[in-house]
Structure 1
Amino acid sequence: MPEDATTSKRPATDAALDFPVIFLLSANLGSQEIQDLEDQIPTLTYDIDEAEVVLGKVFRKERALFELRKHKLATGEVDPAERSPTTSREKKRAKLAAPALPSSDVDSDTSTDGEGEKSLVGRAAATAAGSTVKVVKLPWLTDSIRAGEVLPLGDYIVYEGRKLPKTPEQTPQPPAEKAAEVMRRALADASGSPGSSRPKSSHWKRAEALSSSPIRPALLRETTPEHDLDVHLPPIPDYLRTTYSCQRPTPMNPPNEGFIAELTKIKTARTLMGDKVGVRAYSTAIATVAAYPHLLQTAPEVARLPGCGTKIAVLFQEFSATGQVAEAQQDTSDPKLSVLRLFYSIWGVAETTARDFYNRGWRDLDDVVEYGWDTLTRVQQIGVKHHDELQLAIPRAEVEAIAAAVLAHAEALRAGFRMVVVGGYRRGKSESGDVDVLLSHPDETATRDFVGSLVVSLENAGLVTHTLSLSMTNSERGQVPVSWKGNAGKKLGQAGFDTLDKAMVVWQEPAAGSAQPNPNPHRRVDIIVSPWRTAGCAVLGWSGGTTFQRDIRRWCKRERGLKFDSSGVRSRKDGAWVDLESGPGGKPAPDMLTAEKRVFEGLGLVWREPGERCTG
């Protein structure tokens, strides 16, 4: 394994840049482009009200104003001659020119966390109504990273505006100011007399930031007992002081399942609406809360967690008071989202297609059948036909029975096959939405062109009723680990999260006797076949939660200079395959689980059991 392939790190200049708080606009950006840009912004926020800079593919003031209005941020334009400094160099000059503040006014909660990033909670007070926000062209970020310093905004600024107070339409809950005042008085009672002139504590600053948050629900109250709890918050575990969920143990049943369920509803709504930035924001917050080992008790406790900040803290304060989050409940009951959820649940229908169905005027499955059947793909037609059955959860015992049948047919065709049941089953779910079976064989001649023969055998046995997708990409290239060619011209089979041979099928157990129609439900089954040399990557790639898998790829890219997917690891330097699974002298791993552990070790990650990868 080339030394530079595993020891290359994120450039020190990138990590050290003191960017202002940045909100990234998703308009005109692809999902991969958004992910790449987010990885480069250490001060990224998903709440535009907290932002000092709004960054995007925006080149005209009119478009900038449109984007701010779309995100419900009201501003008044600032004269260019009055523009405030933004870069660290400009801030230092302004600081030298400004009179010094009394020591009692110094914010004691501005220390950096374990990764050197400034707390968004600590910044919240500085981004309240009256501060400015700048809409900036995207090249400012890339040029700054290339230069190794935060460049002056100068000609990059498209628009600068002063943040205006929220209107009644933007702040629909009128008791907010009163609630904030109640919290401030409660905090004053807890810390001394209202007229006390002693320096404000870190807790006061966090609470004050929350009370001045642009999102002002009527639940922003903190009693004295709650204040006492904040003073004695449990320490954040070291493993949570990272933005990579693949470095943390995340259990199947975390202490804060109720709150996570509410956040998941909001994330699903963002998915259906095509809000890719929002989906990533909530995915990150959910993964963090799921890894937190203590029962959350107060909003400041949430706000200090990486990837959460004031937005998630405010939602938690609402949840702790009412047992639910209003936004999640509204999303659940929204008629349009209910229809989109129905269409999205059809196998073969992604969120974009679900919105297209809705825009055609369809409102249920009958409409899809009556008005659009001939426009559906074959896979979508099967998804509609067996929709209700495919929504049924599959108990673990049935998952095991299906997997055993697949292995038995594989062994009948060629002895010596090994199997791992991956997906949610391997993480410990009591019920699964589908069955994911991974097969490999120590003799790589056995796995080449094997998946097609296996599917035919299962069809002849009456177990597979439909083949939704059959990919033989790995066999077509001779099972040689494909080199990574960057973002240039993907060839057939190189798109997606791996290039393994796989079959996605519909399964139905034969009826007992000759009963007709068959009463057994149809099930979704994925059969993946991996060559032995990359079986560890395959097991890892098919075993983690979605955010865990996302962060494995992000970790490899940012920290190791590698490209990871289920079909192997490649160097981003020269595109060559990197062998992490062979032992001394190139000896193959004795089994697939040993190979998976070697991949963890080779990537510089602590081994996590499958039951600790439940990030959602």
Structure 2
Amino acid sequence: MVPLKRRKVVSSSGAGSTGSTGRDDVTSATRFPQVVLFLLERKMGASRRAFLSQLGGKNGFQVEELFSERVTHVICENNSGEEVRRWLQSQAGSPAHLLDVSWFTESMRAGRPVEILDRHKLQEQQIKEVEVVAFSTPSYACQRRTTLDNHNAVLTDALSLLAENAELSDEDGRGVAFRRAAAVLKSLPEPVTGLTQLRGLPCLGGHTLRVIKDVLENGASSEVEATKQSERFKALKVLTGIFGVGVKTADQWIREGILSLHQLQDSERTLNRAQQAGLQHYEDLNQPVTRAEADAVAAVVEEAVASVLPGARMTLIGGFRRGKLTGHDVDFLITHPEEGREVGLMPKVVSWLDSQGFLLYQKTTRNSYLEAKDGPARPSSNMDRFERCFSVFKLPEEARRRAKEARGAAEETEPCSGPAAVSQVKGEGLKPWRAVRVDLVVSPISQFAFALLGWTGSKLFERELRRWAGHEKAMSLSSHALFDNKQSRYLRASSEEEIFAHLGLEYILPSERNA
């Protein structure tokens, strides 16, 4: 295929070029002749520079492609004053102003050159650099100890929201990039006060640094605030908050004009069993589950397991095992010390819970894992093949109260995380119980350590463990097994500590895996 030729754009000087001012012929003429801008490509990148140059031209600014004595304002992004001054020594001319890109973006919003403040001046921003101590941290999250004590919550919350928006837009790659960046900031021992501290840290790309810079200088990220107000983002949050509804289904509904729970109900759309349960119990399922409520569910499940298979073991996993005080669901891993005794356990546990009136909804999947002698047939993923039961649990108020008293502390649930939950759902009145998402997983004892590690999380920590195994150790790790590709054999383990040892990693406690 022969590519189409680009239309030649003639600059104001008459020379054929891509446009020395970054403007095309249909834009307005220069409105501010006293301001001549030059955007420094270093660290900004060619594509972003081209975009900003075009934006400046469209707003009537004169943007030069090449640096010259005519330039009055040099616009930089993520550069130190020292770096720019060294660069200027090799150039002709000395511009009146060395400015951060924030002055440029504020001027674009205002449609005119805004007043230059101290925070815009690159020279002023760099005076205190020598006083700032830079951080350092390993590249992989599974090498770092990340507790729940986060010193940079404002920054990590902003990046996490952008990650969530990317994931809801089916852009998993961007989502992972933001998650990794947030994980780095979560592991830092002190609050970040300036970009200088972040030099050399892994996983912090240009987009991430711009967000961090915006938050540090203005208290909030304009991109994050715009995302929060996006009608599409708000609709995706509401619709994917329905148990059983994924991103693709929610996106299809939005394209059909369904943006709220009311509209979904009024559409009389046919929903599957999981979605019906999710819509009916939307308020409860979007309220955080407290540790006391998790304990109350655990007591019921433990009674069920002991009733149908004495000697079986049950472990609370997920975020609660990492020390979190609230979660969006409760997960349990069940096994038996004698290999094979766990077979047939799940249907019996589910039957017992159902007969006692604890299940509002349940779907059970069978164990489909087969261990191939020559190793995994495909790369490991975070989706395992254990026998599982996804359920909506009916937790009586009395059981919640007893568990709360047993913990000896008054826990309060956080506000509903789903937008306008209770007021949007029909048929959910006052009741002496609440619905809770509960997942049950049954594992053979031979795979228990791998299942325990995989189901403890966090999700990013597990992803990084698998990435470390593959990239650094030539191994394949899953929630079922660890395979050494060089030795062509499985590496057995009866504890998480053994798995970390096989991977050549220092053991990290569950409470320090909150990446």
Corresponding residue of 1:371: 267
Corresponding residue of 1:110: none
Amino acid at match of 1:499: R
Corresponding residue of 1:485: 377
3-state SS, counterpart of residue 340 of structure 2: helix
Question: Aligned residue pairs: how many?
Answer: 434
Deviations 1:236-291 (A, max 9, x none): 34xx232x111111121211011111111111111222222221221111111111
CA distance in 2, matches of 1:344, 1:411: 35
The reply on whether 1:605 has 2:505 as its aligned counterpart is yes
CA distance in 2, matches of 1:341, 1:402: 27
Corresponding residue of 1:339: 235
Equivalent residue for 2:53, pick from 166, 190, 202:
166
Corresponding residue of 2:353: 458
* C-alpha deviation, 1:574, in angstroms: 8.6
Corresponding residue of 1:503: 389
Amino acid at match of 1:391: N
8 Å CA contact retained: 1:600, 1:607: yes
Amino acid at match of 1:464: L
**Change in 2 beyond 3 A, CA 1:171/1:221:** farther
Corresponding residue of 1:559: 472
8 Å CA contact retained: 1:534, 1:567: yes
CA distance in 2, matches of 1:481, 1:458: 38
**Change in 2 beyond 3 A, CA 1:431/1:557:** same
Corresponding residue of 1:302: 198
CA distance in 2, matches of 1:530, 1:178: 68
Corresponding residue of 1:241: 138
Question: What 5-or-longer segments of structure 2 have no aligned partner?
Answer: 8-16, 20-39, 64-70, 91-97, 108-116, 400-428
Amino acid at match of 1:423: G
**Change in 2 beyond 3 A, CA 1:186/1:527:** closer
**Change in 2 beyond 3 A, CA 1:314/1:507:** same
Equivalent residue for 1:472, pick from 366, 384, 396:
366
CA distance in 1, matches of 2:338, 2:175: 42
CA distance in 2, matches of 1:249, 1:364: 40
3-state SS, counterpart of residue 456 of structure 2: coil
The reply on whether 1:277 has 2:173 as its aligned counterpart is yes
| Aligned 1:530-609 pairs, distance under 5 A | 530-572=443-485, 578-581=490-493, 589=494, 595-609=495-509
3-state SS, counterpart of residue 522 of structure 1: strand
8 Å CA contact retained: 2:500, 2:507: yes
Question: What 5-or-longer segments of structure 1 have no aligned partner?
Answer: 1-58, 66-74, 78-123, 134-161, 200-207, 488-493, 582-588, 590-594
3-state SS, counterpart of residue 508 of structure 1: strand
RMSD over aligned CA atoms reads 4.2
* C-alpha deviation, 1:165, in angstroms: 5.2
**Change in 2 beyond 3 A, CA 1:333/1:517:** closer
CA distance in 2, matches of 1:535, 1:378: 31
Amino acid at match of 1:501: E
The reply on whether 1:520 has 2:420 as its aligned counterpart is no
CA distance in 2, matches of 1:548, 1:173: 48
**Change in 2 beyond 3 A, CA 1:535/1:62:** farther
TM-score (ref. length: structure 1): 0.62
Amino acid at match of 1:596: E
TM-score (ref. length: structure 2): 0.73
**Change in 2 beyond 3 A, CA 1:571/1:323:** same
8 Å CA contact retained: 2:132, 2:196: no
The reply on whether 1:348 has 2:244 as its aligned counterpart is yes
* C-alpha deviation, 1:128, in angstroms: 5.2
**Change in 2 beyond 3 A, CA 1:302/1:512:** closer
* C-alpha deviation, 1:561, in angstroms: 1.9
CA distance in 1, matches of 2:60, 2:225: 17
Equivalent residue for 1:262, pick from 140, 158, 161:
158
Deviations 1:155-190 (A, max 9, x none): xxxxxxx957532279989899999669999947xx
3-state SS, counterpart of residue 445 of structure 1: coil
Equivalent residue for 1:418, pick from 298, 313, 330:
313
CA distance in 2, matches of 1:559, 1:279: 23
**Change in 2 beyond 3 A, CA 1:76/1:555:** farther
8 Å CA contact retained: 2:44, 2:78: no
3-state SS, counterpart of residue 473 of structure 1: coil
8 Å CA contact retained: 1:217, 1:318: no
When Rg is computed on C-alpha atoms for both structures, the one with the higher figure is 2
Corresponding residue of 1:221: 120
Corresponding residue of 2:111: none
Amino acid at match of 1:168: L
CA distance in 2, matches of 1:501, 1:345: 25
8 Å CA contact retained: 1:541, 1:566: yes
**Change in 2 beyond 3 A, CA 1:229/1:315:** same
CA distance in 2, matches of 1:63, 1:420: 65
